Amino acid sequence: MKKITTIIALISFIITIDFDARGGYQYQFLLPGVFLFTYILLAPPFKSLGIGYQVLNIIWIIRYCLTPVLIRISDYQFKYYNNITSNDMNIALIVMILEMIIFIFSCNLIYRRLLRKSRISKLPRNMNNIILENNKTFKSVSATVIGIMFLLLILVLVLDPNAITGFNFILSDNFQGIGNASLGISVLIVSWTKITITVFLIAMFGVKDNTLHNPLNFWCSIIIVLISISIFNGTSRNEVLIESLAYVYMLTQLFPKYRKRTIIICIGGLFSILLSMTIVRFFNTTNINEGLSNFNISNVIVLLNSYFAGQQNIAIGVINLRLFFGEYHILTIVKDLFTNTILLSNYVSKLDGLSTVEMFNFTIYGHSLWADQISPTITQAIGLFNIFSIFIPFILVYFIFKMDIISKNTSNIFGIFLAAFIAVNIAFYSPGNITILSTAITNRFIPLFIIYKMSSIYLKRKEKGGSDLHKS
């Protein structure tokens, strides 16, 4: 993969050289060029880590190679905000390059310090077989915890039945919005329960296969994953993608012999689901052919630029800093970190001042009522933390690598999923933005971690009880 990435970066560098380019894009060839040089010198081996680092590599390819190439191929014919100057674009390019270097340097430093210290470099080359090669016995999810989640789900359905109205099935005629639940936490409980039950069902077949290999265990697990990712809340493609990748990684650990089949089947199903959601969300149709007819290179560039903090989005962030830098204060940090936290959002929204998202949308639209644009991590970090923003990439990379190590070494199936889920979340949202990451921590990571710890405690009690019974 590292060789492939190097080749992609080299080709992208050659394609994007165009000194007659549209204003602000004359030097965009530096993105794949500097990425090529930095990646060869500093990037850790691709196979040495888990899915978090692998997703991070893919994000880099999209940001620094694919997006510039598409911009060049389109002859710069795509949505361009008029208030962005060539100077803003050039500053954005410098910011992106510096961010890239810091990120890849962080990977190199943390890989050598953290991973070598944990002796992960001495583990077998085929990391997908690590659990089986170490003769670890897989641990399932506690049935007691599943019972508790079922009770919570029933309670939600009784007290707040509208909590499930926002959930869609991919084969439905039309997709609903986010629903009209009375309490936001009701939707989260349904989501947590869906994830926990999915992992529990897969774990049953994984534990069976760990004892006695049977292809049926694998195929049942595949079906469970495909059904689970076909049920989603609203039309958030990112949540579906991240959750699905964690399932795929878990399956490759449980069924290493079927790794290629797992990737092909699950990624194929995931692509179909995401394509359907995209067509419904942006083109308001469930007809695939009609939706595809609306797709063009300009739409793809806009999507990639928005979701993965392309040069134009960074330029808007630069303008945002120029307009609002003096208005960043401690309450801005509080609003950015907790504005979407279910139990605190009502209180945080009443605080004085604008959040970075509101500032960013004001920069684009001229007012702060819109909230459909994503502020890039790097410019948000500069506004919130000034010079200390340099540590944000180090923090993100540290947790990605830490979760990758845990996902490789734990024998607890829920732990494998949760570590992969956290690593993919952080890697995917590393370009933008901090608010999304903090929301994931409070609304998904912490609750799922509590469920995981409860499961581990009940499993230990059960093992201890069985051990005492065996002794007597």
pLDDT of 16 reads 92
The count of other CB atoms within 10 Å of the CB of residue 395 is 12
Average pLDDT over every residue of 79-108: 89
pTM of the model: 0.89
Domain residue spans of the chain: 133-294+394-471
Q: Which of 65-74, 165-174, 270-279, 334-343 is the most confident on average?
A: 65-74
Confidence of residue 22 (pLDDT cuts 50, 70, 90): confident
Provide the β-strand partners of residue 167: 233
Burial level of 387, CB count in 10 A (0-12/13-18/19+)?
exposed
Q: Cα(100)–Cα(96) distance, rounded to whole angstroms?
A: 6
Task: Please write the tens of the pLDDT for every residue from 288-326.
Answer: 666 666 677 888 888 888 888 889 999 999 999 998 888
pLDDT of 429 reads 92
How far does Cα 250 stand from its chain's mean position? Answer: 16
**Which residue has tokens 């040495």?**
48
Which positions ≥6 away from 299 have C-beta within 8 Å?
282
Q: Where are the alpha helices (DSSP H) in 308-433?
A: 311-324, 330-338, 345-348, 356-365, 377-385, 391-409, 413-428
CB 409 within 8 A of CB 130: yes
> With 90 as the cut, is the pLDDT of residue 10 above it?
yes
> With 60 as the cut, is the pLDDT of residue 472 above it?
no
Average pLDDT over every residue of 183-188: 79
3-state secondary structure 297-314: HHHHHHHHHHHCCCHHHH
How far does Cα 93 stand from its chain's mean position? Answer: 24
CB 230 within 8 A of CB 171: yes
Q: Cα(219)–Cα(205) distance, rounded to whole angstroms?
A: 9
The count of other CB atoms within 10 Å of the CB of residue 160 is 19
Kindly state the DSSP code that residue 256 receives in the 8-state scheme.
G
pLDDT of 124 reads 40
Closest by Cα among 6, 9, 37 to 104: 37
> With 90 as the cut, is the pLDDT of residue 3 above it?
no
